[in-house]
Structure 1
Amino acid sequence: MSDVLGQLAAGSPSADRVRWFVPGRIEVLGKHTDYAGGRSLLAAVDAGHTIDARAREDRVLQVRSEVVGGTVTIDLDQREARPAESDGHWGGYVRTVADRLDANFPGRLRGADITISSTLPLAAGMSSSSALVVGLALALIDLSGIAADGTGTFAAEITTPEQLGEYLGTVENGQSFGGLEGYRGVGTFGGSEDHTAMLCGVPDALVQYSFCPVRHERTIGLGPELSLVVAVSGVEAEKTGAAREDYNRVSLAVTETLRRWREDTGRGDSSLAEAVASGPGAVARLRELTAEDNYLGVRLEQFLTESERLVPAAAVALEDGDLEEFGRLVDESQTGAEQGLRNQVAETSALQRLAREQGAHAASAFGAGFGGSVWALVAAERAEEFAERWLDAYRSAHPSRTGATAAVTRPGGAARRIA
């Protein structure tokens, strides 16, 4: 099977109906590094959203969710008349995708009846919201033939799956991508890590990427003797409503640090990682510029530690089969999330600690934080038994979290068209 971009460029075998599967993702390492131009170690998973789209004769989208219920109706010819706010959380993502694609590829979108089904837990840190953005975009681009002519705007701007991931990241955050002008995002200031993992994931492997722009750095096979267990804490990792301010504080700290750097140096570096790499004295100067603000200072140190040292070192340790060193590095990343990002809750910190006490080679919270899930790397032959013990220990410590669950998974493949 060709990659995602190849499937889009080839066009749909059926012009009037397409179905796409988009996986969730596990961020093994790389906590809040992507939008700062840093590194992440990622895996697509074997659960995700399925988007089934049938063309209509008019320019109306009827999008129905089997996951949360309800239908969103959008008249594509009334884009400017639509309010910025939407009919609830998931409807906002639908409108964001439709508006951006219609703005970047005017007149190309076809109306469609779309049904969304899923095996992915919502608000669990596995990026169900970004999977919705990716799935809707792929289905609409495919159904409308936007990428299939090979000569239009899409083909001129997006030539690799990595660029497609970066573009869909800007669809979500509202920024521009090349000549594809930005439009309303969903209100969160994230990057393209999730979208890249979903479009570039490799079965039975972890992938290491750096961002701004997206660059593949390494693929590390995960042998059949190992499994990932994901425990959902029962604390929803929302990025909307009241939770949005907490989430955005983490990313806005990077924006403020970069603003101070540009003002002080006169440079035009586009990311924090680019500023760090600009010269031998850059890190020392960045520390000076953030010294009087405690949160900016610890946020800078967390980024430097996570992106510059932990991600590449952990990837090498895993590649070498040194699980003890891998676990130690992952523990350090968890400490950085708790003390630097300050985006952990008691439940996710407890899950990480309990996983290690139960014998996991490594464990870490992942995703936006403020709730969500924790992954644990364990021996495959004992994965199911570990998941049960881990969940029992967590429920004993946090009996009110009745929605907590645990499941065994493996790295899965990228998003794909399905029959």
Structure 2
Amino acid sequence: MSPDSPLTGSTGSGAHWFVPGRIEVLGKHTDYAGGRTLVAAVDRGVTTTCSPWDGEGVTASSTAVPGELHLTAGVDPHLAAGHWGGYVQAVIDRLTDNFGPLAPCRIEVSSDLPLASGMSSSSALVSSVVLALADANGFTGSARWARNVTDEADLAQYLACFENGMSFKELPGAAGVGTFGGSEDHTAMVASRAGQLGQFRFCPIRLERRVAFPADLALVVAVSGVAAEKTGAARDLYNRASLATREILRVWNEATGRRDAVLADALDADPEALRLHRLVSGDDYLTRRLDHFLAESERIIPAAADALEAGDLDGFGAAVDESQEVADTLLGNQVPQTIALARIARRLGAVAACSFGAGFGGSVWAGVPRADAEAFAAAWSEDYRAEFPAEAARATTLITAPGPSARRLG
């Protein structure tokens, strides 16, 4: 990652930002534990336009829904859980706390990302609003920003803090939006390169390698029709998976006297995870959670990236198949619909196919020859409809490819 990030500078007036969604090729629930992911930005995302106006506070609108929201820093807008305006309010509050009052402005948000699909539409929304407001208010050109956001890794981590509520360097935290997540989404959004997959490790963020994605392959995404919301019951399930790694770490630190911050740090001291396994052996869920992390982060992702680098698509597909399997049997974040979509895709000839995102719904990606992508998408939808007609009525497909990172428009 370059310290000369394209995401610095400031217009000090209006601003127009695009932040892409992302596909997590591999790396389910690994980032917040210090593990690996294999990710790409896509060519769809969220665009936020911020322009000055003569009123008070922030007036926000979305092309997806009618009406306007009138938001003020520190004032609860009393919106329903999961309402898009709640994400915007969290951004307004955090930027005000970190950099000072915002100038009165209008923001308009538009998106061509499917909602609750696992393509990180909520993180793209938050990030685009952060970048547009910070840019328009001159924050990105300030000395305080320059001290704290020095490169793409810093930017990704700071953007993640708008959701997890954590402090970042000298920028204090707040409540966030209620998920105990990592920074994978934001890293993919600000540090991706067109035509490549990025293999990253987290806590702290570091790029391990970039792997070219075959130019003659497309990524076909099937949105299952089962919402992957980070609110309500789905949020509770997501947070259970996240908090389990913290519990493993608590047990480890208590037994060893160490002060490791994330699970990956404990593995540095216990590379074979022998003691970790002994410590959690009495808890079936924690054991499965540990086993999933070891499989996904330490073995499957390096094997998949090695296979891609070598042009071994069969080997890549086999590694991805294993990721899909352990997501079901160990992590437990799959639903019958995502399991079926991955199975159907492979039966139809996809090089590889896997669910992605937080799980408990969401989407599945399939790597297929670009020339066959539209026909594949139609057949995939038809076969899915035969098994899950109700969900298929809400399902969609799209065709994409690894794309570039977030950028200022105009």
Match in the other structure for 2:113: 120
1:36 to 23, 26, 33: 33
Confirm or deny that 1:74 pairs with 2:65.
no
Indicate the SS of the match to 2:390: coil
Q: Indicate conservation of the 8 Å contact 1:4/1:416, yes or no.
A: no
Confirm or deny that 1:335 pairs with 2:325.
yes
Q: Indicate conservation of the 8 Å contact 1:86/1:95, yes or no.
A: no
- Structure 2: any 5+ residue segments left out of the alignment? none
> What's the CA shift string for 1:50-85, capped at 9, x where partnerless?
101102345511111112444332223xx1x537x6
How big is the shift at 1:16?
2.6
Runs of 4+, deviation exceeding 6 Å: 2-5
Indicate the SS of the match to 1:348: helix
Alignment of 1:156-305 (within 5 A): 156-280=147-271, 283-305=273-295
1:104 to 98, 101, 113: 98
Q: Indicate conservation of the 8 Å contact 1:63/1:113, yes or no.
A: yes
* Distance of 1:302 and 1:69 partners within structure 2: 43
How big is the shift at 1:375?
0.2
* Distance of 1:279 and 1:342 partners within structure 2: 25
RMSD: 1.7
Q: Indicate conservation of the 8 Å contact 1:360/1:378, yes or no.
A: yes
Match in the other structure for 2:312: 322
Q: Which amino acid aligns with 2:14?
A: R
Q: Indicate conservation of the 8 Å contact 2:13/2:138, yes or no.
A: no
Q: Indicate conservation of the 8 Å contact 1:166/1:192, yes or no.
A: yes
Q: Which amino acid aligns with 2:303?
A: A
* Distance of 2:268 and 2:128 partners within structure 1: 35
Confirm or deny that 1:349 pairs with 2:339.
yes
Confirm or deny that 1:413 pairs with 2:404.
yes
- Structure 1: any 5+ residue segments left out of the alignment? none
Q: Indicate conservation of the 8 Å contact 1:366/1:375, yes or no.
A: yes
Q: Indicate conservation of the 8 Å contact 2:3/2:150, yes or no.
A: no
How big is the shift at 1:156?
0.8
Q: Indicate conservation of the 8 Å contact 1:8/1:142, yes or no.
A: no
Change (3 A) 1:68 1:305: farther
* Distance of 2:66 and 2:152 partners within structure 1: 31
> What's the CA shift string for 1:314-334, capped at 9, x where partnerless?
011011110101111101101
Q: Indicate conservation of the 8 Å contact 2:72/2:92, yes or no.
A: no
The sequence identity of aligned pairs, in percent, is: 51
Q: Which amino acid aligns with 1:98?
A: I
> What's the CA shift string for 1:230-266, capped at 9, x where partnerless?
0111111011022211111110111111111111111
Q: Indicate conservation of the 8 Å contact 2:36/2:201, yes or no.
A: yes
Give the number of aligned pairs: 408
* Distance of 1:372 and 1:8 partners within structure 2: 29
* Distance of 2:65 and 2:4 partners within structure 1: 29
Q: Which amino acid aligns with 1:134?
A: S
Change (3 A) 1:344 1:70: farther
Q: Indicate conservation of the 8 Å contact 1:207/1:219, yes or no.
A: yes
